[in-house]
Amino acid sequence: IHRRLTLTAASLLVGLALAGCGKQESAAPAAASAPPPAAAPRVLVVGTDAAYTPFESQNEKGEVVGFDIDVVKAVAQKAGIEVKFVNTPWEGIFNTLELGDRDLLVSAITITPERRQTMDFSQPYFEARQLIAVKSDSAVTKFDDIKKLKVGVQNGTTGDEVVGKLLGKSSTDIKRFESTPLALKELEAGGVQAVVADNGVVAHYLANNPGGGFKTVSDAGFSTEQYGIAVKKGNAELLAKIDKGLADIKADGTYAKIYASHFGAESK
Ligand code: ARG
C-alpha cells in the first residue's frame, strides 16, 4: 500500500511538472496534442552466475548457456520481451536487482523466506536438493558424518546455510568459496573433505570429472528446494509476464523439451 501511495504521489508530481511545461510551450499547441511516439521496448538484462553447469555456464565463445538460460529465453519469447544475459558474480548478485543493473536474475536461485523479503520470485521452475560430494574412499554416509570435517560451500548459498546449521555458522571448518567449482576443486586438492551444493551441479561435475575420485552422498534430511526467477521487489508487472510465460512453456511442451535436452528423458 505504501508503494502504491508513493507511486501515486510521484505520478502526480510528474503530472504537475508536465502541465507546467505545457503552459510554457503554449506557443506550439499542435505538438503538445500529438501522441508521444511509442518508446522502443528495452532489452531486459538478466543476471546469472555462469559457473553452475548445467544451469548456467559460459561456452568457448563466451556466451552464457544452460538450462536456466533456455528456460528464460523461452519465457521471454512467450512474454514478448527481449532479454540479454550478463555473467554476474554470485557475491552481490541480489544487490544488482535493487540497483537496477539487472532486471531479472536466473541462477538456480532457491526461493527462501529470507530472500523473499528483499526480492520477488516467479513460480518455481525447478526442484532441487542438497547433495554431498566426498572422495571415493570417504567414510561419510550421511550428512551428520561431515560434522567433524572441513567442508566447502559456495558462499551465501543454501548449501552454506545447511552446513552452517550443522557445524555452526561461524565454524572455521566451513570453507566458503566464490563459486561451486572452486569448492569442488578444493575437494580434489584435499583442502576440504566434503562439499555440499545443489544436486544437479554436483552430479554433473562428478559425471564430467571421472578422474576426480569423488562420490556423492545423499541425505533424506535435506529438504526440497525450488528454483525461481527473481525480479526487483514490487515489480509485479514484469513478474506477471514471467509467470505467464512459464505457465505457457509448461503447457505447450517447451519446458519438457528444454528439460530433456539438459537432463535426459526422465523429465517430470
Ligand atoms: N540454489 C542455491 C541457492 O540458491 C545455489 C545457487 C547458486 N547458483 C549459481 N549460479 N551459482 O543458494
Query: For the purposes of burial, counting CB atoms within 10 Å of the CB of 15, is it exposed (0-12), middle (13-18) or buried (19 or more)?
Result: exposed
- The pLDDT value recorded for residue 24 is 44
Which atom from ligand 1 is nearest to the alpha carbon of 110?
4
**Distance between Cα 203 and ligand 1 center (Å):** 15
Which atom from ligand 1 is nearest to the alpha carbon of 52?
10
190: left (phi over 0), alpha (psi -120 to 50) or beta: left
In the predicted model, is pLDDT for residue 156 greater than 80? yes
Percent of the chain at pLDDT > 90 equals 81
**Distance between Cα 224 and ligand 1 center (Å):** 14
**Distance between Cα 8 and ligand 1 center (Å):** 36
Which of 55, 86, 102, 157 for a ligand 1 pocket mutation test, highest count of atoms within 8 Å of Cβ? 157
Average pLDDT, the chain: 89
- The pLDDT value recorded for residue 33 is 62
- Tell me if the pTM is above 0.95: no
- Residue 130 Cβ contacting ligand 1 at under 6 Å: no
Least confident of 13-22, 87-96, 233-242: 13-22
